[in-house]
Structure 1
Amino acid sequence: MFVFFDDCWNKVPKIGKQPEPKPGIHNSGWMQDPGQPASDNAANSPVLEKYVKDVLKRFANDKRILLWDLYNEPGNSDKGNKTLPLLKSVFKWARQVNPSQPISAGVWRWDLEDLNKFQIANSDVVTYHDYTPEGDHLKTVQFLKMNGRPLICTEYMARPRNSLFGTVLPMLKKKMWVL
């Protein structure tokens, strides 16, 4: 599952030596793509479009690709709806290439309603992140299944939140897999 863009963590990516990881901080060295201010600047659109289309065309029929995750956690890092123009563009570019694999952008925060609506309406497979305990996670699954499309949880498991492999994984197997 290839991911093109990401709004998580450090906003200013750069070439060269990356920041040292911060002990005890999950993904502390992670960089956004394309980062800021690049994601806010429409002048970057042609370069980003070329990047997305080149990669999609090259691997459009590659059996190793299960799914294209066009944008990880759009709106994160306090970007909110500022991410919507790039999110809409990356879906448009992917549809123009029309790869054989499905495309998606995972829902991850429920109060980002405009982004969520767009992501769910335009994803071939609804992907999502949920770090809640089993019972709450089950409600997420039930809600998202109402869209009538395949569903994949692409991020979960947070011990401090009681989202555990031993409880959530069996529920996901039972509720999401047809064997």
Structure 2
Amino acid sequence: MKIQNTKIPDVVLIEPTVFGDDRGFFFESFNEHRFAEAIGKTVQFVQDNHSKSARGVLRGLHYQIQQAQGKLVRVVSGEVFDVAVDIRKSSPTFGQWVGAVLSAENKRQMWVPEGFAHGFVVISESAEFLYKTTDYWAPEYERCIAWNDPAIGIQWPIDVPPVLSGKDQKGLQLVEAEVFA
């Protein structure tokens, strides 16, 4: 397993060691001990989620103000541009973002810790996206920051308007959003 640090130290990219031959491939997608070493703490995952989306679908920027979720995310079909935004007011990287291409081909995973808003846009024809979470989905605590907030300035790799859910169309600007202390 190869760990790649990002410009926000708490967010890491994880690249598994893949063993392949003419029959296909094998890799370990999660190992509790190695993961704890990579992020510097042990976490317990309580829920796995799986979504499928078409090209141009943008989901995010989501977070829960209570029952905050850490997320270990990966793609098993297709390709996405995945983003984490630091929304911890006391953090030196508050309001900053990191992004990476995650795909079935590169098999990368991104760790998005509690205190971050998360989103992705599909850049292939379709994509299947998996994520493990450290707390349960709690819709009453779910919040959304606008995907195109100029104060954050995410450089999404799209050249057409994204396809958004009704909830995502109502995302707030970071300055208006309820964030973490």
Larger RCO, structures 1/2 (Cα 8 Å, 6+ apart): 2
TM-score computed with the length of structure 1 as normaliser: 0.27
TM-score computed with the length of structure 2 as normaliser: 0.27
Instruction: Give 1 or 2 for the bigger CA radius of gyration.
Output: 1
Larger strand fraction of residues: 2
